[in-house]
Structures are given as C-alpha cells and as structure tokens.
A and B are shown apart, each in its own frame.
Chain A
Amino acid sequence: MTEQSLAIEMRRITKKFPGVVANDQVDLEVRKGEIHALVGENGAGKSTLMNILYGLIKPDTGQIVIDGKPVVMQGPRDAIRHGIGMVHQHFMLIPVFTVGENVVLGREPGTAGDLYDHARAREAITALTKRYGLSLDPDARVGDLPVGLQQRVEIVKVLYRGANILILDEPTGVLTPQEAMELFGVLRDLVSTGKTIIFISHKLKEVLEISDRITVMRRGKVVGHLKTSDTSEAEIARLMVGRDVLLRVDKKPAQPGPVALRVENLTAVSDRGISALHGISFELHQGEILGIAGVEGNGQSELVEVLAGTRRPTGGRVLLGDREVGQLGAAAIRSAGVSHIPEDRRGAGLVLNYSVADNLILGRQRTPLFSWDGIILRLKAILDWARRLIKEFDIRTPSSTTPARTLSGGNQQKIIVAREMASQPRVLLAAQPTRGVDIGAIEFIHRRLVAQRDEGAAVLLVSAELDEIRSLSDRIAVMYEGRIVSIEKADTPEERLGLLMTGGGAGERLKAG
C-alpha cells in the first residue's frame, strides 16, 4: 500500500429506522494521523454513522475495520477498547464533580478497600495535560469552568481512556472564535503525536481550515470524498444541499432612514435575579440591520426579551418612534409594530401541539382579519392565510392542519419567520434566527431578513454565529457582560470582534477615545 494506512474503514454501513434510511451503504475511510471532516446537513446521517462507530447503535449491515482488523461493537466499552473516543456535542460531564472525577469516572484509580485514589487521579491527569500541552486544574469543579475548558475536560477524558481515534461532534458550536482557534491548536498538536481525528461539522470555513480530507453526506448517503486542499466552500455546500447554494448574502448597501427604536440606559435582571443589562444604549434605524455579537449569556437574551415586552426592565427607556414602550407588555408592543423571532423556538416561538395554521396567526388572533370582534375565529380566513404563507415561505408540511411538532426544526423556524415577517413590522427582533437550521433554510431566512430591511424595517439581529452577524449586519454592536462594549462597522475583522466579545480590546478603546 502506497497510501498511509487506514485507522478506520467503515464498509457499506446501512441502518434503517422506521420510515427512514439513516445510513445507506455508507463507506468511510479515515487515514492514520489525519483530521477527517464529516460534513452534512441535519439528518444527513452523520450522527448515526458516528454512533455506530462508537457502539451506541448497531448497524443493520456493514462492517467496521479498525487498524486493519474487522471488529464488532457491542457498546461504547468495545469502542473504547479499540481506542475510539468520542467528544459529544452535549458534553458528557457532571457539573458538580471535579475535573479529576469527571476524567477518571468509570476507570478510577483505587486504593485497597476500593477507596477512590485522589492523588493518583490527579497525577494521571497532570501527566496527560502536560504531555499534550493542555492546561487544566484537576481539582476545579467542572460546573465553574467556561465552556472551552469543559470541552478540554472532555478531550482529556477521552485521552485518559487511551483513545487513538477521537471523534468530535460539532465541537465548535458552543465556542467563541478564540476558543475555537485554541481548539484547533490542540487538535493539530494531537495529530502531531499520532492521533487520528474525525471532525463532524457543518461550518464549512472551519472544515476547510482544519481538515485534511472530507467526507460529505446527504440524506443517508455519502455524496463525496474530497481532499481539502483541492476543494472549495461552494463545492462542499453544493454536495451537501444537492444544488448550488448562495453562501454570501447578496445585499445592497443599506439606506438607513429615521430612528425606529431608541434604547437609553436600559437595565434589567436575569431570571436568577442577577443584573443582566447594565445601561444599554443604542439607536436602530429604519432600513438597517444592526447585529448584536457576543458570547451567549452576556445579556443578549435579556435585551431581546425586554424589547419584545416579555421581560420588564428595571431602568432606562425604550422609545419606539416617540413613544415610550419599555413598560408595555408583549401584546401592546406587538401591536405597536414590533415583531419577534425568539431564540427558544420550541418554547417561546411555537405552540408545538397547535397546527401550522394556528401557529401562523399566534399573537394576531384578535385582529379583525382573523376573528369577529376578537372572539370567534374566522377559520376560513385563517386557513387561506396559512396556505399563502406556507407557499410564500416554502414551509414543508403535509398540510396546514398538521401539528407543528411533527415538522423539522428548519420548517418550524420558517413558520415563525413567516408569521413575524408577514405582519410587516416596523421593528423586527431576530434572535438566533438560523440556529439548528439547515444551510438551505439558512440561505432562505437570510434573504428574507435582507428583504425586510430593504422594505424599510429596522432589524435587530442577535446571533452567536459571527459569520452570520458579519454577512448580514450593516453595523455590529458587541455585547460583553451586559454592556455594549463597542459599535463597529460591518467589515470589522473577525479577530477584533472576537477580542471584544471576550472583554479584550477595552484598553485600545480607551486609547482611541
């Protein structure tokens, strides 16, 4: 064999679930010492394939070969024995345990009498972290650590179990750009010591940056094996979606009109009673998209909730035009022309057991359009309206009376987007509008947001995805610890935004001011 030898070979893997073929004759080859990216949209079968490799799911047919030897996985224990480790997207960590306890769990060093050997656990972890250049305090409580370090605990956990092949499932989804860069550094170091890495992602930029080779999946099938150096974002996206995808948002320069929303010195507390907004001020113009960038949990959610009327501010003013609306409830703010795409789609955006049609009029059921005197619903008008929106917003649903619960995440999100945009709002609050949504639907929602702007709406876009913020916004406000630390131009480099998002760059600002 002239090629590098293979660490993993999965041959003709098929797995059927009721009503769907999750993996259809899938082949995957991962070479030793490479970073292999597995990409595809939600539901393409990536997770199923990896769960099969990790022994969590048994395939119907197919074969797994590790280091040239065919193996049968009865469970994660077998996978661990064969040197496979998985860093799950939702961390498998116990917040109240220490780093050390989390790492050694299931393989604890013990003394006579089965006592847990604290000292030896600490030694083992320190040895590992030194060897791979990962700094971690074994005695810290995991729940007290930032997400980036928690992920590091997961990686150390996998290394402690002797893994040579690491599967990372959407590892950057929860990280700040800086943390993601650090992670990539760690991954490169790991590969240089001979480890093999499978990197699952749908963020094409990252895939191009970190991987050596790429396997693309669509609807349960492998649709491409690519060498990273020979491919492009556009090619991967086309394979993933099955058609050409517009990755860059096509938009004209903004033509900002008068101020639509003015926020002055706004303060609010979080659900836990802690001060979440410390004097937020900004202006939002008609015909512009103002992006709010920030690591999640820095007050963005509270800001949107206050503006939408679902959380009362503790101080400051919100002016819609000339009208003070800060103390009004959600219904009054809505009827004043503010639409809201909430970040919690299933909890706050939809009534999952209601039909698509009913969800499409939620919040407007009392208007003369949909009811007589706000009491009796005009069912026919509602269904007509629903049919129109389903068509216009390309909501894939068997019928307008189907419960929203049964739709995919992307289509659920389209229901909300359709409802909120169809009322032709003066101000549109869009919180994480494309979270967990496929590339195709992302493209659609992005186009719609720009269209709203062009029709004169004032759009406030909150997103944890820096790419999304940068490609859609006309101005970018960066939030950190409940404050807007800076308002930047749309073409601000990612590095600078990342720095501001993590509280850096403050000194620079002082000098500049």
Chain B
Amino acid sequence: MSFFTDIFRLMGTPDLWHASLQYAALLLLPALGGVISERSGVVNIAMEGMMLTGAFFAVAVDLAAHNVWIAVLGAMLAGGLMALIHAVVSIRYRADQIVSGVAINIFAAGITVFLVNRIYGLSDVGQVPSSDALPNWHVPILGDIPFLGRVFFQQNIMVYVALILLVAIQIFLFRTRLGLRVRSVGEHPQAADTAGINVYTLRYGAVVTSGLLSGLAGAFLSIGIANTFVPGMTDGRGYIALAAMIFGKWTPIGAFVATLIFGFGQAIYDANSSIHVSQYLLSMTPYILTLVVLTAVVRRSSPPAADGIPYVPGAE
C-alpha cells in the first residue's frame, strides 16, 4: 500500500513534474530525429549510438574549450557524422538499415570507451564545471508562479530548445512544401522521383538531421544533466526514443506525448529514495512502460509505406 501512497505524495510535489518534463525533453530530441529520418523512408535505430557519441564529444570539447556552445556544436557534428555513415550505408549502398543501425550503436559504444581511455587514461573523464554546463533558465515572472513555475519555467535551456523544435518540426513536416516532399519520399519514392523530387538528397538531409538532434540530446545528457561522461551513459534512451516515435505514429506531437509518459517513469525512479520499493524494481519502470506501450499501441500504428526500403531508380 505504501508504494501507492508514496507515489501520490510525490505527485503533489512540483519536483516530480519538473523532472518528468526534463527527461521527456531528453527523449524528445532523438525521437524527433527518428521521426524525420523515418518519414523520409530510412529506418533509424541508431539514435542510441549517435546520442552516446554526442554525449562524449560534448564533454570532451567542453573540457578543452571551456565553451558550452562550442561543446554543443561538437556534439551535434559528432552525431551528424555518425548519421552520415548510416545514410551512406543505407541510401547509397542500400544495405539493411537495421543492421547498419545496430552496427552504429555498437561502434559508438566502442569508440567512446576507446577515446575515454586514450584521452583520459584509466581515470575518470572528470566533472564538467557547472560554469561550463548547459544553464538552467529561470524565466522572469513566469518562473515565480508557484508549482507551475517550477515545472515549466525553471528548466534547463535544452528543455525549451526541445519544445521549440517540437513545434517547428511538426509545422515543417505537415505544413511546408519541403515537409510534404520529405513525406512523399518516405511513402512512395518512385512517385516523388517522377514528380521531379530528388529522393536521395532529401533522405540524406533527413538522416543527418536525425543525427544532429541525437547529438544535441547527447550534449543535454552529458553537460546539461550529468556534467560528466560515463561509458554507456545513454542507457537505452535512444531505444526508448525509438519506441516513443512509434507510439507517436511517426508524428512529433505523438512522440512528445510518449516521451512524457517515459519521462514520468524516469522521474519516479529518480525519486526512489522516497518510495518504499526496491530501487532495482523502480529502475525498470521506463523500460516496462516502453514494453507495455509498444504492445498496446504498435499494432495499430503503421509506418511510412517506404520506410526501410532503399530506393532503386527505375525499379518497380
């Protein structure tokens, strides 16, 4: 019984909701990237790896340059570069996109450990000083509203960025000409090609964008939340973002709803010290939520028609 009373007590505190939104934003960035990539017809399960690479380079650049914005840029470029590998392999060489994605995730895990050892030796990477970390932004006036102010307006800068990107990408995909073309390429590349649309250019652009966004999420994780890099620190969040994308039926808004649920699960875990349940059980929450959500929703959710199918011009 005490488990539920603990949860209810927590839900009365703004901190739980603050943390939920923060973790939701962390998942939202790679999920948005996944939406763009798969809407263009390239299956992307490599957000995990791109995020991890981004997380490492954010810390490495930050420790070297002492400039958080250059660090963010480095993280995005690192994620984008990983995505470019995925793009070349799956668009140009028409390899299996799942295999390519798995390879990138494994490669990212390896290269980051290698670079940690190479650069920092066997010791820790070390702490990013809070002066070089991604800042929180206490929104004037709004941030002072009781309860809601803490939840919505005292967040890390990356939370606001993620929410702005959410709106921007939703509009981009469903209200702009370019968005229409991206979706056409993911639905029926032959049709797009005969309409004079360059299938390859759009797919490359979409995949690399997903890498930039995942890299950004990596930076948020390492220099916005943890302020250090630990090997494997993404801890499956790229895969949870993938689940959020599917749950959200390949739409930004839908993915956001899903990340809110997963973010809530993560926030509950974070608060484990005040819940009378084994923290190991609680640590499963986000993943169990993922499984439940996927089995309940996935069957009714259909991906873009040409998702995962390489485009061969002239082939029927």
Contact = CB atoms under 8 A, between A and B. Distances in A.
B177 A92 contact: no
Interface residues of A, number: 28
B157 interface: no
A92 B187 contact: no
B12 interface: no
A92 B196 contact: no
A118 to B, nearest CB: 9
B206 to A, nearest CB: 16
A508 interface: no
Nearest to A85: B194
Contact of A92 (B176, B181, B190, B305): B190
A101 interface: yes
A150 to B, nearest CB: 12
A106 B305 contact: no
Interface string A429-460: 00000000000000000000000000000000
B12 to A, nearest CB: 43
A115 B190 contact: no
Interface string B300-316: 00000100000001101
A57 B314 contact: yes
Interface string B242-260: 0000000000000000000
| Interface of B, helix, strand, loop or mixed by DSSP | helix
A107 to B, nearest CB: 8
A94 B196 contact: no
A108 B177 contact: yes
B20 interface: no
Nearest to A86: B194
Contacts of B316: 90
A453 B60 CA distance: 82
Contacts of A95: 187, 305
A102 B188 CA distance: 11
B64 interface: no
A149 interface: no
B178 interface: yes
Contact of B197 (A106, A114, A116): A106
Nearest to B188: A94
Interface string A48-79: 00010000110000000000000000001100
A88 B187 CA distance: 17
A57 B195 CA distance: 16
Contact of A115 (B175, B193, B195, B305): B175
A97 B179 CA distance: 12
B177 A116 contact: yes
A93 B188 contact: yes
B188 A106 contact: no
B277 interface: no
Interface in B192-213: 192-197
A96 interface: yes
A169 to B, nearest CB: 12
A114 B178 contact: yes
Contacts of B292: none
Contacts of B188: 92-94
A116 B175 contact: yes
A110 interface: yes
Interface string A104-131: 0111101001111000000000000000
A397 B193 CA distance: 37
A80 interface: yes
Contact of A106 (B176, B183, B192, B313): B192
Give the interface residue-count category, chain B. Answer: 20 to 34
Nearest to B194: A92
Interface string B26-40: 000000000000000
A89 to B, nearest CB: 9
Given A94-B187, A96-B305, A105-B184, A80 B196 contact: yes
A106 B181 contact: yes
A97 B187 CA distance: 9
B176 A116 contact: yes
A76 B193 contact: yes
A76 B187 contact: no
Nearest to B197: A106
B219 to A, nearest CB: 28
B195 A105 contact: yes
B180 interface: yes
B305 to A, nearest CB: 7
Given A90-B316, A94-B188, A97-B184, A115 B176 contact: yes
Interface string A290-303: 00000000000000
Contacts of B181: 105-106, 108
Interface in A255-276: none
Contacts of A93: 188, 191
Contacts of A114: 176-178
A226 B229 CA distance: 77
A105 B192 contact: yes
A96 B177 CA distance: 16
B177 to A, nearest CB: 4
Interface in B150-197: 171, 175-181, 183-184, 187-188, 190-197
B196 A77 contact: yes
A56 B196 contact: no
Interface of B: 171, 175-181, 183-184, 187-188, 190-197, 305, 313-314, 316
13 contacts: A56-B313, A86-B194, A92-B194, A92-B195, A94-B305, A97-B180, A105-B181, A105-B192, A105-B195, A108-B180, A110-B176, A114-B178, A115-B175
